[in-house]
């Protein structure tokens, strides 16, 4: 049996030298991209970690909602009508505005009886007034902040109204003009809270994806280098296309995973009814996706270069410091940057992936600003991929670990 079904080359036919096979129309970079995606998608560890993260995100949202909605019931021992009134006032406030913190007074004969009840655990605390009129709240081992806060506020308004009544002025008159209204020159107070949560989420998601998929790119490069498959690949396709395929494949994976996580979080927020804040996040999240894409492309080129310089996966630790610094800077911008620093950060490629969406949440940002920042990031991505390609092409064919300086001097 002959395995050669189509006699192709013959030294004597000039056209036999470079035959094109019918039926193959895919460009090389696309074949590489598809392989990167398929290998990862079929990887059980990757599937499991994705599912686990999804579950954690949804569970986190649900847990938060549960904690927010969970009511607290406090039993307080008192010995006087005044005490009972304070507890009743606290109960009223606790239930106001959809709250579900309840206070119940247990009236007992004496202070000692009240303390006995605390000791035995029948009540959470005892609210007692000494002969000088000073109030004490006594718990067994601790007094929960919900309890002391609620009773403290109730006591204050109780005493206020009692004292006011004694002077013949109504409590409202007494407090007139004492209210402090809050306002911000830029943005709104509500956005501030959303921004801090979203900033954390953006920073963290970027950090995770940059690490997971960045390392994936570097490992995939170093695997081919270590096994010398790259030598076979290099004879089949331009090595540049191999780099493009890897960067693109992992970018797609990162974006899909990010969209999956973000989608799950938004869905869970909606279903648990904690969605009042979500409205503000969505436009910024859209921008985040775009910025993420550009920032990730830059990091992807860097990780690919790191992979090509290494000789084994273990070598990746050396030399990954600059990349890690950039990723951490992006995370830090999400968590801590404010004011002028945040404005500057929102134009620095990679860091801008997190910083600009956060700025857009915090304040009004003119449309040209994110667009300019994206143009800068795109230029940086193009320059880095171009540079990365040069280093990659040289280093990946060279067995063993290399320094960046040495790789730049290599000839192919």
| Residue 409 touching another protein (CB under 8 A) | no
Positive or negative, the CA dihedral 200, 206, 210, 216 is: positive
| Residue 229 binds to another protein (criterion: CB under 8 A) | yes
Which residues within the stretch 300-359 sit at the binding site for another protein (CB under 8 A)? none
Q: Which of 50, 117, 191, 226 binds another protein (CB under 8 A)?
A: 226
Q: Which is nearer to another protein, 40 or 359 (CB)?
A: 40
Contact code string over 184-223 relative to another protein, x by CB under 8 A: ---------------------------------------x
Is the Cβ of residue 218 or residue 331 nearer to another protein in the bound state?
218
- Give the one residue of 227, 270, 317, 403 binding another protein; rule: CB under 8 A: 227
Count of C-beta atoms within a 10 Å radius of residue 256: 13
Q: How far is CA 84 from CA 99, 175, 234, 268, in A?
A: 20, 24, 85, 42
Burial class (CB in 10 A: 0-12, 13-18, 19+), 410: middle
- Cβ proximity to another protein, 225 vs 359, nearer residue: 225
Question: Cα 125 to the chain's mean position, in Å?
Answer: 40
For the beta sheet containing 101-107, the strands, ordered from the edge strand earlier in sequence to the opposite edge, are 101-107, 72-78, 125-129, 135-139
Shortest gap between Cβ of 400 and another protein (angstroms)? 12
Site for another protein in 148-177 (CB under 8 A): none
Q: Can you spell out the DSSP letters for 352-372?
A: HHHHHHHHHHHS---THHHHH
Told to check if 39 binds another protein by CB under 8 A, we report yes
Q: How far apart are CA 81 and CA 87, in angstroms?
A: 10
| Contact (CB, 8 A) for 349 and 376 | yes
Which residue, 57 or 239, has its beta carbon nearer to another protein?
Answer: 239
- 76 phi/psi in degrees, rounded to 5: -125, 125
Binding window for another protein (CB under 8 A); candidates: 31-39, 102-110, 250-258, 318-326 = 31-39
- Under a CB-based contact definition with an 8 Å cutoff, are residues 261 and 52 in contact? no
Give yes or no for a contact between 222 and 166, defined as CB atoms under 8 angstroms apart.
Answer: no
Establish if 18 lies at the interface with another protein (CB under 8 A). Answer: yes
What binding mask, one character per residue, do residues 383-402 give for another protein by CB under 8 A, x or -? --------------x-x---
233 vs 266, beta carbon nearer another protein: 233
Binding footprint of another protein, residue count (CB under 8 A)? 45
The residues that touch another protein, with contacts defined as CB under 8 A, are 2-12, 14, 16-24, 26, 28, 31-32, 35, 39, 223-224, 226-229, 231-238, 397, 399, 411-412
């Amino acid at each position: 049996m002959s395995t050669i079904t189509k006699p192709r080359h013959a030294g004597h036919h000039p056209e036999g030298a470079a035959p094109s096979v019918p039926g193959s129309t895919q460009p090389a970079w696309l074949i590489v991209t598809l392989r990167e995606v398929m290998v990862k998608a079929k990887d059980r560890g990757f599937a499991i970690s994705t599912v686990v993260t999804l579950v954690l995100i949804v569970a986190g949202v649900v847990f938060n909602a549960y904690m927010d909605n969970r009511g607290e019931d406090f039993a307080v021992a008192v010995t006087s009508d005044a005490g009972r009134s304070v507890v009743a006032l606290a109960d009223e406030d606790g239930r106001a505005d959809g709250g579900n913190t309840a206070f119940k007074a247990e009236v007992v004969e004496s202070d000692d009886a009240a303390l006995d009840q605390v000791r035995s655990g029948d009540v959470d605390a005892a609210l007692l007034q000494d002969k000088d009129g000073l109030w004490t709240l006594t718990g067994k081992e601790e007094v929960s902040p919900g309890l002391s806060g609620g009773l403290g506020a109730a006591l204050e308004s109780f005493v206020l109204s009692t004292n006011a009544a004694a002077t013949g002025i109504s409590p409202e008159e007494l407090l007139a003009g004492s209210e402090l209204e809050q306002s911000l020159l830029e943005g709104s107070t509500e956005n501030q809270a959303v921004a801090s949560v979203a900033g954390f989420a953006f920073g963290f998601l970027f950090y995770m994806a940059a690490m997971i998929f960045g390392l994936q790119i570097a490992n995939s490069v170093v695997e081919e280098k270590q096994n010398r498959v790259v030598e076979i690949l290099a004879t089949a396709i331009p090595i540049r296309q191999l780099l493009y395929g890897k960067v693109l494949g992992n970018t797609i994976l990162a974006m899909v995973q990010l969209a999956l996580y973000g989608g799950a979080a938004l869905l869970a927020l909606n279903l648990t009814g904690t969605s009042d804040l979500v409205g503000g996040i969505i436009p910024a999240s859209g921008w985040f996706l775009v910025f993420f894409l550009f920032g990730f492309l830059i990091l992807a080129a860097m990780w690919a270069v790191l992979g090509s310089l290494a000789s084994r996966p273990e070598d990746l630790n050396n030399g990954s410091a600059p990349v890690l610094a950039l990723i951490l800077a992006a995370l830090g911008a999400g968590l801590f940057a404010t004011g002028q620093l945040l404005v500057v950060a929102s134009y620095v490629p990679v860091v801008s992936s997190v910083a600009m969406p956060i700025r857009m949440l915090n304040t009004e940002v003119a449309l040209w600003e994110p667009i300019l920042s994206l143009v800068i990031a795109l230029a940086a991505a193009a320059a880095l991929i171009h540079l990365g390609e040069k280093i990659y092409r040289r280093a990946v064919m060279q067995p063993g670990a290399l320094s960046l300086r040495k790789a730049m001097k290599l000839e192919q």
